[in-house]
């Protein structure tokens, strides 16, 4: 983490409170209208004549080194340069608890393969991952910039809109350059966002159109009751805290802890241009040493001063739970205190809450006047996650504990790199189990290490096409088989015909095919191998097969052409724990200096954490991050049997079960051994 920067606060300005609502229904007394058609760019018009537009962005993945924070610093500095006396800026991060129960029901096919054991396993995986997510109360974050243009007696409304549009255009270009995917919300999206921020009983990302603004100041179906300690919004108690004192030393990302709270939260940062003359006048009333320092810094600085206000709202996961609300209040206060920041003991809750809505209204708080350089450190919009919002459960983001999912529906596939064959075998087995629960037919090219040996025992002969002694014709493929194991084939045309047969046979029963290709560089590394391998990848893509390839790190340099083909063919890369001597090879493979910090976290000269959790670096086409791949207790024993650490315990469990029931078949014996060992296994997610 980069060193801290000493902060000098020139002044603190107390914002006036808003007039509290006259009735519980007057939730938005500041909105005059949101004009236009639903598909038009959203424009919020406030009672004082101010105008607002909202930009949605992706947020940065947390970069814990100087190079990563420099990129954030430069981007935020450029955005602050766009501010003027007639414009304002609000940065808003919204967290809402993420419920994966219904999602997992859709992704994990509960009628998997028409097999009772796989149906049970899919249901178990869904319930396990849903329970873990609920236990962690994992949030889903969304990020917005609310850009404003203030009214002026000398400017018409048309000129004010033109000023706002130029402001939006400049900021959007800066965000696009930083790969933040800016998107100006439409009128319908703007109304939906405001409505979902007030209706806490609704999930984030509300699809239903909200109730129209029937009159200028009201959203009729939202109840807001003002109180001294908290508000009651939509039946939920909401507490808002105002940062009254900034840390004496600022660090990049000092607000990150607030973004990983496991409850519904909103973090709002308001920015405006500071008035140097007003600061000088107020500094004259302070002790002489402080006054001289302030005047000296103001005079020597060519950059502007920035007024910044911080608001943080908390809503319990369970509505009406006062004890839970107090616990989260204390937790937020402690997190800020650990950064040497303080909150206002008492503040007007309605004014502060309104300041957390996507309206660009700054009221009831304290504006801290800081230099332009210091203001740039306060960028709060960090994603702290990796992966996609839909797909198969993989694990959790290292920084935020958010669930990381792999979208198996998007071809072409995933490419894993690890220093140890044991890590790759475990990863391949885990991915195979996940894909089976999603109704895939898995074709595994045997590399001599038999990564799916334990899976073969559990599934049994009827569900496995064991083709290690030769490729069968189409008629020989078992229609109910879910796994096919084959040997690497020197005759490419024969293997391509076999893949065509697999897609024909299992595609007829709506089973997509996944092809596991471990150690491809060993089998296609000879003369003409790259040309053959390229043809294989082209055919895999044509047939719509999901590709899962893996290589040991030491092969990255010796098989350049094969690695290049895999790199281009796979949209997701997973870097498993690395040995120190392989550090340079992996950095060259990723071809991006900004990501090099990840390998310190991966644990050089180490493998799985306690033999269970795999720390890894995951990179998709659009995102990257640090991930802890966590198997369920059943996954652990299903995938670990071919490791020395699990063989002995598995053998003892089988012997014990056989003594109790000598008539158990080999398949039932393997399944019960996995089950009972899994029941006894500790929950890895709590480590």
- pLDDT-derived band at 184, boundaries 50, 70, 90: very high
Q: What are phi and psi of 28, to 5 degrees?
A: -125, 70
Which has more confidence, 134 or 258?
258
Contact between residue 655 and residue 609 where contact means Cβ atoms under 8 Å apart? no
pLDDT digit string, tens, across residues 490-542: 678 888 888 888 888 888 777 888 998 888 777 776 667 788 888 888 888 88
SS3 306: strand
pLDDT given for residue 609 in this prediction: 45
- pLDDT-derived band at 565, boundaries 50, 70, 90: confident
DSSP E strands in 381-532: the ranges are: 392-397, 403-406, 413-418, 441-445, 464-467, 483-486, 513-518
388 DSSP 8-state letter: B
Written as six digits, the tokens of 13 are 């300005």
Cα 58 from Cα 48, distance rounded (Å): 31
Tokens 């992706």 — which residue? 58
Please report which helix (H) or strand (E) contains residue 572, including its range.
strand 572-575
Contact between residue 358 and residue 90 where contact means Cβ atoms under 8 Å apart? yes
Q: Sign of dihedral through CA atoms 192, 137, 329, 321? A: positive
Q: Is residue 596's pLDDT more than 50?
A: no
Torsion region of 234: left, alpha or beta (phi above 0 gives left; psi -120 to 50 gives alpha): left
Cα 633 from Cα 664, distance rounded (Å): 23
Q: Is residue 239's pLDDT more than 70?
A: yes
Written as six digits, the tokens of 683 are 């929950």
How large is the average pLDDT for residues 39-63? Answer: 85
Cα 325 from Cα 306, distance rounded (Å): 33
Tokens 């003002």 — which residue? 226
Contact between residue 513 and residue 545 where contact means Cβ atoms under 8 Å apart? yes
Cα 314 from Cα 267, distance rounded (Å): 9
Written as six digits, the tokens of 481 are 């088989």
Cα 508 from Cα 190, distance rounded (Å): 45
Please report which helix (H) or strand (E) contains residue 24, including its range.
none
DSSP 240-300: EEEEEE--SEE-TTTTHHHHT-SSEEEEEEEEEE--HHHHHHHHTTS-HHHHHHHHHHHHH
pLDDT given for residue 213 in this prediction: 42
Written as six digits, the tokens of 235 are 């039946």
pLDDT digit string, tens, across residues 340-396: 788 877 788 888 888 999 999 998 888 888 888 888 888 888 765 544 455 677 777
Distance of CA 419 to the CA centre of its chain: 26
Tokens 């709060």 — which residue? 380
Lowest mean pLDDT among 404-413, 419-428, 658-667: 404-413
Which residues contact residue 579 at a Cβ distance below 8 angstroms, ignoring those fewer than 6 apart?
A: 419, 553, 604, 605
Tokens 């596939």 — which residue? 413
**C-alpha closest to that of 593 among 58, 71, 76:** 71
**C-alpha closest to that of 401 among 635, 611, 137:** 137
Torsion region of 53: left, alpha or beta (phi above 0 gives left; psi -120 to 50 gives alpha): beta
SS3 108: coil
The chain-wide mean pLDDT, for the chain, equals: 76
Tokens 């796989």 — which residue? 118
Q: Is residue 108's pLDDT more than 60?
A: no
Which residues contact residue 408 at a Cβ distance below 8 angstroms, ignoring those fewer than 6 apart?
A: 391, 392, 434, 435, 438, 440, 514, 546
Which residues contact residue 75 at a Cβ distance below 8 angstroms, ignoring those fewer than 6 apart?
A: 174, 175, 177, 178, 180, 379
Q: Is residue 447's pLDDT more than 80?
A: no
Contact between residue 44 and residue 35 where contact means Cβ atoms under 8 Å apart? no
pLDDT digit string, tens, across residues 283-337: 666 666 666 666 666 665 556 788 899 999 888 655 556 777 888 888 888 888 8
Cα 495 from Cα 659, distance rounded (Å): 44
pLDDT given for residue 479 in this prediction: 77
- pLDDT-derived band at 641, boundaries 50, 70, 90: low
């Amino acid at each position: 983490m980069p060193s801290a920067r000493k902060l000098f606060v020139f002044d603190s300005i107390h914002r006036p409170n808003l007039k509290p609502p006259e009735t519980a229904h007057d939730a938005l007394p500041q909105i005059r209208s949101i004009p236009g058609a639903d598909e038009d760019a959203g424009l919020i018009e406030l009672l004082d004549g101010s105008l607002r537009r909202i930009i949605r962005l992706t947020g940065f993945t947390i970069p814990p080194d100087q190079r990563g924070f420099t990129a954030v610093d430069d981007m935020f500095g450029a955005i602050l340069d766009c501010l003027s006396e007639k414009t304002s800026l609000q940065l808003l991060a919204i967290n809402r608890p993420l419920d994966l129960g219904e999602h997992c029901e859709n992704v994990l096919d509960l009628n998997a393969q028409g097999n009772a054991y796989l149906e049970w396993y899919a249901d178990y995986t869904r319930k396990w991952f849903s329970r873990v997510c609920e236990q962690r109360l994992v949030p889903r974050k969304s990020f917005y910039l609310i850009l404003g243009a203030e009214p002026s007696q000398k400017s018409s409304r048309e000129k004010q809109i033109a000023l706002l549009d130029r402001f939006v255009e400049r900021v959007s270009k800066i965000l696009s350059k930083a790969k933040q995917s800016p998107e100006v919300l439409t009128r319908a999206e703007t109304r939906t966002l405001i409505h979902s921020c007030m209706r806490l009983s609704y999930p984030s990302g509300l699809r239903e159109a909200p109730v129209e603004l029937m009159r200028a100041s009201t959203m009729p179906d939202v109840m807001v009751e003002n109180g001294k300690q908290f508000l009651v919004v939509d039946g939920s108690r909401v507490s808002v805290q105002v940062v009254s004192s900034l840390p004496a030393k600022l660090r990049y990302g000092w607000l990150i802890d607030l973004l990983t709270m496991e409850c519904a939260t909103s973090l709002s940062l308001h920015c405006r241009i500071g008035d140097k003359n007003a600061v000088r006048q107020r500094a004259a009333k302070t002790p002489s040493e402080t006054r001289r320092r302030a005047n000296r810094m103001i005079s020597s600085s060519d950059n502007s001063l920035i007024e910044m206000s911080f608001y943080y709202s908390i809503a319990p996961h369970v509505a009406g739970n006062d004890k839970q609300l107090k616990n989260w209040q204390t937790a937020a206060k402690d997190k800020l205190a650990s950064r040497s920041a303080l909150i206002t003991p008492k503040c007007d809750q309605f004014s502060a809450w309104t300041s957390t809505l996507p309206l660009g209204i700054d009221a009831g708080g304290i504006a801290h006047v800081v230099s332009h350089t210091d203001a740039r450190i306060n960028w709060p919009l960090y994603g702290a996650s990796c992966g996609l919002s839909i797909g198969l459960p993989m694990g959790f983001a290292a920084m935020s504990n958010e669930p990381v999912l792999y979208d198996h529906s998007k071809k072409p596939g995933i490419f894993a790199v690890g220093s140890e064959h044991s890590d790759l075998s475990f990863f391949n087995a885990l991915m195979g189990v996940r894909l089976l629960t999603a109704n895939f037919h898995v074709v595994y090219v045997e590399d001599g290490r038999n990564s799916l040996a334990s899976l073969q025992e559990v599934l049994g002969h009827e569900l496995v096409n064991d083709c290690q002694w030769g490729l069968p014709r189409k008629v020989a493929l078992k229609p109910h088989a879910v796994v096919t194991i084959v040997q690497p084939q020197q005759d490419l045309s024969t293997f391509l015909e076999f893949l065509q047969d697999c897609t024909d046979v299992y595609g007829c029963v709506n089973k997509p095919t996944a092809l596991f290709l471990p150690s491809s560089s060993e089998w296609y590394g000879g003369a003409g191998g790259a040309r053959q391998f390229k043809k294989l990848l082209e055919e895999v893509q044509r047939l719509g097969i999901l590709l899962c390839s893996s290589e040991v790190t030491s092969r990255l340099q010796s098989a350049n052409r094969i690695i290049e083909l895999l790199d281009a063919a796979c949209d997701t890369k997973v870097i498993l724990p690395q040995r120190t001597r392989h550090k340079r090879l992996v950095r060259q493979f990723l071809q991006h200096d900004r990501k090099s910090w990840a390998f310190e976290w991966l644990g050089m000269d180490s493998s799985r954490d306690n033999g269970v959790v795999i720390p890894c670096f995951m990179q998709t086409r659009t995102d990257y991050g640090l991930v802890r791949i966590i198997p369920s207790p059943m996954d652990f024993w299903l995938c670990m049997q071919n490791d020395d650490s699990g063989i002995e315990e598995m053998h003892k469990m089988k012997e014990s079960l056989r003594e109790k029931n000598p008539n158990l078949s080999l398949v039932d014996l393997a399944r019960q051994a996995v089950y009972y060992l899994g029941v006894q296994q500790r929950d890895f997610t709590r480590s």
